[in-house]
Structure 1
């Protein structure tokens, strides 16, 4: 069964594997398959589920809410996010204004079929809204009982520090950041992780298998596998294409196979286990288009990678690793 970790400097425990439905529910897979994946997650001991209002333009939240219907609410940890445009894309249908936050939480709760979420996250930093307005709105969401804790996603170290200070002044708990993190993408290690550790904030990381690249199924100088994420024109191909465009990556990833073999685990399990070796990581988000993918990937929970193998992974991946802290700000949206 999946192990639990505390989220930040709070009393909330979450499973160290979180089931997420970005790029899958409401878009890539049929609803029956999505529900089967959620059932596989529950059967494996996962109780933490991550989604966002923007995923499939709100459909992903609805699918997850339906899939979790009938489960004991107090036994689940449900996370969602707000920032990106939803609905018809009107002038106030995006960002972190008070209007958008307070309207969005109500929509998310309705779709998720719950009275509250355990964690409500700012999906990106909003350059166009005063941070004081954003944090006050989040504080009001918490005080209304619609969220228990707040978090952020892909904020820089300075933004996290400023948001945490305001949250403290308002008497609410900012306890998490949700960044991209994998053995190939380590941009949070230099600044975000040290700042978060100091402030009592954990990471809930997305794309621990680098959009599937770290599974080893993409081979150097070979066509991408039929039916893989790299062939999905609904969104998956664009994200993974940026990694595949770096020609040095795939040959190095194949050299990780002996490490996985030595540990007796799959390449995907190695990738998920690798991010969980970072003590500031509370949970790794996995997605799935088939229930068996969930069953296999949760086996990364509890795996310990010895220091000598961690060093070998670093050596093997070498200069294919992206670790510049500036990448977080470079990937952020500009003013609305």
Structure 2
């Protein structure tokens, strides 16, 4: 598996990043037990992957504990990333010095390690001054508890503010962003990817299968199988879950999925493989998060990184998924006399 530098840093990460949200039992989200999670990790490392991502939020910390046990004795061979900011128990949330310090120490205990390779802010905190955030994170680096810093779900403006703040406080800047990116979600191309490039940040993209829409399981005019992810969400009494599922199953997304299914059939590949291969080949993408529940799913995901999409296939997918981003995609400025 290919490895690339993460942003303007010397940290080398695999093109596939193993996401671990499915490892755990809290909330009943995960299929499979801890032994299966261990088998997935083993197979990922054997395939040449070295980059594993988690978060303190996942299954109320259980995921970090599972990961810590699975990596015992081989921690030094893995680029281990986790995230903080979300509430885990009653102690609050956010990016304040108090909360982040407690969150990092708790993650280190659960993961059974004395350092994190990539520590990420899970989301922006509007209540904490960004200078405080970046100074706190820099202190973690200086203490040897963290090697590199990143963020997740930040806007372009928030990225710029963070990097400027790191410079103001004489601290360590971010080297990565973890944004959502897929054939059905391309908004980061307008401002976020250019901001990352300008400020020396690599990207570790998630949500590449569009919540399952890009697996080809859902079609126009068909009610989702009750056992499918969308079927379960639509069957819940939680309004937010219903709204999220319906927003994904819109006409545009289903049209993209239908074209994806045709392309996959022509290539003799699974739709999910083609969707992952498309994202992995996009400019500005360093690593792609995959979230397999089993070794079988992992192998299907990894096949995408060996799939080279013909130029005409990429063009077809680009066209069907095109999103009018307006002048902020940079095209406007090429028209302005200098």
Alignment TM-score > 0.5, same fold? yes
Give 1:1-336 correspondences, 5 Å limit: 2-26=1-25, 27-29=29-31, 30-71=33-74, 73-88=75-90, 90=91, 93-169=92-168, 170-232=170-232, 241-317=245-321
Q: Point out the structure with max Rg over C-alpha.
A: 2
Contact 1:78 1:118 in 2 (8 A): yes
Compare relative contact order (CA 8 Å, sep 6+) and give the higher one, 1 or 2. 1
Give the CA RMSD over aligned residues. 2.4
SS of residue matched to 2:265: helix
In structure 2, the CA distance between the partners of 1:282 and 1:242, relative to structure 1 (3 Å rule), is farther
Q: Give the number of equivalent residue pairs.
A: 319
In structure 2, the CA distance between the partners of 1:302 and 1:245, relative to structure 1 (3 Å rule), is closer
Contact 1:186 1:322 in 2 (8 A): no
Deviations 1:6-50 (A, max 9, x none): 100111110111010124433412222222222222222221111
In structure 2, the CA distance between the partners of 1:240 and 1:4, relative to structure 1 (3 Å rule), is farther
SS of residue matched to 1:61: helix
In structure 2, the CA distance between the partners of 1:112 and 1:67, relative to structure 1 (3 Å rule), is same
Q: Which ranges in structure 1 are unaligned for 5 or more consecutive residues?
A: 327-336
Which sits farther off after the overlay, 119-128 or 309-318?
309-318
Contact 2:152 2:178 in 1 (8 A): yes
Write the distance in 1 (CA, Å) between the matches of 2:105 and 2:250: 42
Contact 2:68 2:112 in 1 (8 A): yes
Write the distance in 1 (CA, Å) between the matches of 2:114 and 2:132: 24
Which sits farther off after the overlay, 187-196 or 27-36?
27-36
Normalised TM-score (structure 1): 0.87
Normalised TM-score (structure 2): 0.87
Write the distance in 2 (CA, Å) between the matches of 1:193 and 1:248: 23
In structure 2, the CA distance between the partners of 1:52 and 1:163, relative to structure 1 (3 Å rule), is same
Q: Following TM superposition, by how much is the alpha carbon of 1:270 offset from its aligned partner in structure 2, in angstroms?
A: 0.9
Deviations 1:131-158 (A, max 9, x none): 0111111001111111100001111111
Contact 2:210 2:248 in 1 (8 A): no
SS of residue matched to 1:200: coil
Write the distance in 1 (CA, Å) between the matches of 2:199 and 2:136: 21
In structure 2, the CA distance between the partners of 1:238 and 1:272, relative to structure 1 (3 Å rule), is farther
Deviations 1:98-149 (A, max 9, x none): 0011111110011111111110001111000000111111001111111100
Q: Which ranges in structure 2 are unaligned for 5 or more consecutive residues?
A: 329-338
